[in-house]
A and B are shown apart, each in its own frame.
Chain A
Amino acid sequence: MLAAEHQWQRFTPQARLARFAVYLGIVAAVVVSFRTVEVIPEFLQDAPEQIGDLFYRMWPPDARFYPATVHGALIETIHIATLGTIFTTLMAVPVGFLAARNVTPHVPLNALAQLILVSTRSVNTLVWAILFVAVFGPGALAGTAAIAFRSIGFVGKLFAEAVENADRGSIEALRAAGAPWPSVLTMGYWPQVRPAFWSIVLFRWDINVRESAILGLVGAGGIGMVLDDSMNLFQWHRVATVLVSIFAVVILAELVVNAIRKRII
């Protein structure tokens, strides 16, 4: 046995207990899920063959389909994403400021703002789209609203974190000089959080382009509607065209975001 002072424990007893509890929890969750989930193993074995059959039916993509229908829908999709991101920024920035504990020292207001942020991002964009289709009717308005509302939670949370990480020094100086609070916001906080702000907005726009592409599946406008129609009519070559164009637009959006990021940040 090693001498007493030569014992080495990698983790404290409490830490070991906590880690063990977590491991146990994970194993339990996985095992229980595995046994209760309704999955038919034969379908899993069949899967590669089925996927192969699907791709066979989709190839080659129907190129004539593109200019007729797909192009317009793609443009609409991009507009939904962009407009939605712009609207979300207008709503998320004030809520973000309310949620930041250094800007808003009122705990109830903080809590309310955090609640708004958590709930908007707990509801998936697709669900927001369903809701707004019921409210505004099918079309791009519902899609834009869905994108806008879902993103509030994302943009607001990251923005609040950036605001809370701002350096207090310049804020103190402005307050000491007697500046009113709107000026403190625009001259004290804004210059510090601006790079983070643009980074967050770009990041969210990129995600929103992907999200906008599928909103049409529930009737909220964009290329998703073309996809839904083609699939319902089993027009697999057109489905392939739609999928390829979505892929292309997503790649394009990433390239644009990377290029802008390099220039601004």
Chain B
Amino acid sequence: MARDVSAPAPPADERRLPRASWLARLGWLALAVYVAYAASLLEITWERFYAGLGHGAVFVARMVPPDFSRWDLLVHDLTESVEIAVLASFFGIVIALPIGLLAARNMMPLWVTWPARALIAVCRSFHPIIVAIVFVKAVGFGALAGILALIVASVGFIAKLFAEAIEEISMKQVEAVRAAGAPFFNVVTFGVLPQVLARFIGFSSYQLDSNFRVSTVVGIVGGGGIGGTLFAAFQRFDYDFVAAILLSIIALIMVVEVFSARLRATFQ
């Protein structure tokens, strides 16, 4: 017997708009109100914006054509930024690995994970630039401060994600390796690492990219690299040199992104 598929029409009062869209509209309205309020608080007005566009046009005009005449200074400082990024990433990853393992609550007892997680939280809480300022005060101007600051940032990021990845693994696989009588490090190598390696490479290469970006600006606060040169050129109103530096930085970052994509492909 076929079922009767024609149902009676729903009563009229069920045809109103569902409540959800009212809430959504209210949300958008609140957002618009906020934007107006905050803009006025920050003195963001159309006049300033248009004036800015005017300045901007002059500004861009002075930047074109970019001035590469001091390319030896440019290359020297850019190389320093690369060195800062390479060393900070290398040491950051090497240090972050054991710390991340120590912070994993499914592998370590509480009295080990708690200090490790506290250390990671402290490393993450401050912007690398602020950390760089502190290190500049501590070890003086130059690349060392930049390297140390970026190591702290790298450890904070990589160790946290590494610990999270370890906490999400299937403990069954680890259990089997333990049951065969393997010592701790072999359990990690065969039971834990195969499960987290892909993700580890992913966020390590992300941090590598990030370190390259930040290494170009730590110089602004004295941490070495091209940032200082850039800021100095700015303050001298040397805008065509600024343009040259900016283009070099963008080119460097693009190369690094391609390189780290290749790196990911090789190891995954």
A residues contacting B by CB (< 8 A) are 15, 18-19, 22, 26, 29-30, 32-34, 36-40, 43-44, 46-47, 50-51, 54, 76, 79-80, 82-83, 86, 118-119, 121-124, 126-127, 130-132, 134-137, 139-141, 144, 210-211, 213-214, 217-218, 221, 227, 231, 243, 246-247, 250-251
Contacts and interface: CB of A to CB of B under 8 A. Distances in A.
A19 B39 CA distance: 52
Given A134-B234, A136-B48, A50 B87 contact: no
Given A51-B134, A122-B253, A76 B41 contact: yes
Contact of B87 (A37, A140, A211, A214): A37
Given A34-B87, A83-B44, A210-B127, A135 B138 contact: no
Nearest to B263: A22
13 contacts: A18-B266, A30-B86, A38-B143, A40-B140, A43-B139, A51-B138, A121-B213, A126-B217, A136-B51, A139-B42, A141-B44, A217-B220, A247-B126
B249 interface: yes
What DSSP secondary structure best describes chain B's contact surface? helix
A144 B44 contact: yes
Given A47-B139, A127-B246, A140-B43, 11 more contacts: A32-B83, A80-B42, A118-B257, A122-B254, A123-B246, A127-B216, A134-B234, A136-B52, A217-B129, A246-B126, A246-B130
Nearest to A242: B130
B66 interface: no
A18 B42 CA distance: 53
Given A136-B52, A141-B52, A217-B129, A76 B234 contact: no
Contacts of A86: 31, 35
Interface residues of B, number: 62
B83 A37 contact: yes
Contacts of A123: 246, 249-250
A251 B126 CA distance: 10
Contacts, number: 158
A66 B147 CA distance: 32
